[in-house]
Amino acid sequence: MFCLNLVSHDPFFNLSIEEVLLKDREEEYMILYINDPSLIIGKHQSAHREINTKYVTENQIPVIRRISGGGTVFHDSGNLNFSFIIKSEPGKQVDFRLYTGPVIEFLKSTGVDARFEGKNDLKVEGLKISGNAEHIHGNRVLHHGTLLFSTSLDTLRNSMRKDNSCYSSRAVVSNPSSVTNLNERMTRIRNINEFRSEMMNYFLLNFPGNVIYTLSEAEILQARSLAVSKYSTWEWNWAYGPEYTFKNRFEMNNLLHTCTLFIKDGIISECDIEGSNQMKSVSKKLIGCRHMVDDLREVLRAENVFLSEDEIYNFF
């Protein structure tokens, strides 16, 4: 197996590398990488339903859709991501226990008693330290997961939507869990770079045939192109996925308003706002608008509706 340490912290590029090596290569890989702060949503999720739109927008945290299923995870410089790209037999391709087994053994070598729990989590004393997801492509499987080492847990919690009752959809919903950082349980490993080095060395020493791999210039260029054409686009990150309905009740200008939006392919296709004649009239102008903060604000301003920085989030 080729063992790859990605030096990039760019989540758009790093997700692209996974797809390039999965779909356009035949070799097997183990990849380690650390991303800049970002929210990585599952392929079949509705982004606004999973994230705290206000917090994420105000803090300029990128939201990026991956090709695997499952729920939303937060990445930052305190989180180590691992990926396995393996040839697999039909009928035996989805196997979270199989691919997390070596990771559990590595963690045991550091003195951490991690266990596989639920559908796809690794936990320590009942607290989640790793979420995992998989994607099948022909006779190959991509298994990737997180390892919370020194992640900002406050940012992680604030980035996730705590109440998604305003949304209804057949999209996959995340399963929130209480989390913890691994560095709280380690004394020998001082920082995430040492943690990454320990994990890479473990896989090189304990699995015969594993060797260090360096990306070719062609692979780098291909991933950069994919990062621009797919992983950086609104169409993939926000518009892709099942349609959804958003309903909310809020007070504005001392009047109670109700809002119902139906969104398909990221676009508001139906809109009904009750509460004032102005907003009822404006509601028809929102049809055809992208369900995004800046887009809604622009349409409303064109109709002389000037909402406060907080009020715009009544529509998310």
Q: Could you please report the per-residue DSSP string of 218-274?
A: HHHHHHHHHIIIIIT-HIIIII-S--EEEEEEEEETTEEEEEEEEEETTEEEEEEEE
Please give the share of the chain, as a percent, with pLDDT higher than 70: 100
* Residue 177 to residue 165: CA distance in whole angstroms: 18
CB atoms within 10 A of CB 153: 15
Task: Indicate the DSSP class of residue 41.
Answer: E
Task: Indicate the DSSP class of residue 160.
Answer: B
Please give the share of the chain, as a percent, with pLDDT higher than 90: 94
The answer to whether 12 touches 232, Cβ cutoff 8 Å, is yes
Query: What domains are there in the chain, each with its CATH number?
Result: 2-236 (3.30.930.10), 244-315 (3.30.390.50)
Considering the chain, what is the average pLDDT of its residues? Answer: 96
The predicted model gives 149-175 an average pLDDT of 96
Radius of gyration for the alpha carbons in the chain, expressed in angstroms and rounded: 22
For residue range 253-302, list pLDDT tens digits in order: 899 999 999 999 999 999 999 999 999 999 999 999 999 999 999 999 99
The predicted model gives 44-59 an average pLDDT of 98
- pLDDT, residue 187, reads 87
Q: Binning pLDDT at 50, 70 and 90, where does residue 82 land?
A: very high
121, pLDDT greater than 80: yes
* Residue 40 to residue 307: CA distance in whole angstroms: 29
- pLDDT, residue 80, reads 98
More confident residue, 206 or 118: 206
167, pLDDT greater than 90: yes
- pLDDT, residue 48, reads 98
* All residues at 6 or more sequence positions from 155 whose CB lies less than 8 Å from its CB, including other chains: 37, 59, 74, 76
Q: Minimum mean pLDDT among 53-62, 81-90, 211-220: which range? A: 81-90
pTM for the whole thing? 0.94
The answer to whether 295 touches 289, Cβ cutoff 8 Å, is yes
- pLDDT, residue 30, reads 98
Residue 117, H or E segment: strand 115-117
Q: 259 phi and psi, to 5 degrees?
A: -135, 130
* Residue 16 to residue 10: CA distance in whole angstroms: 10
- pLDDT, residue 92, reads 74
Q: Binning pLDDT at 50, 70 and 90, where does residue 94 land?
A: confident
CB atoms within 10 A of CB 19: 21
Q: Binning pLDDT at 50, 70 and 90, where does residue 119 land?
A: confident
Q: Binning pLDDT at 50, 70 and 90, where does residue 183 land?
A: very high
- pLDDT, residue 176, reads 85
Residue type, 249: R
* Residue 22 to residue 103: CA distance in whole angstroms: 20
Q: String of b and e for 61-80 (b: at least 16 CB within 10 Å)?
A: bbbbbbbbebbbbbbbbbbb
CB atoms within 10 A of CB 255: 12
The residues pairing with 121 across neighbouring beta strands, listed in sequence order, are 117, 131
Helix axes 96-109 and 192-206, enclosed angle (nearest 10): 110
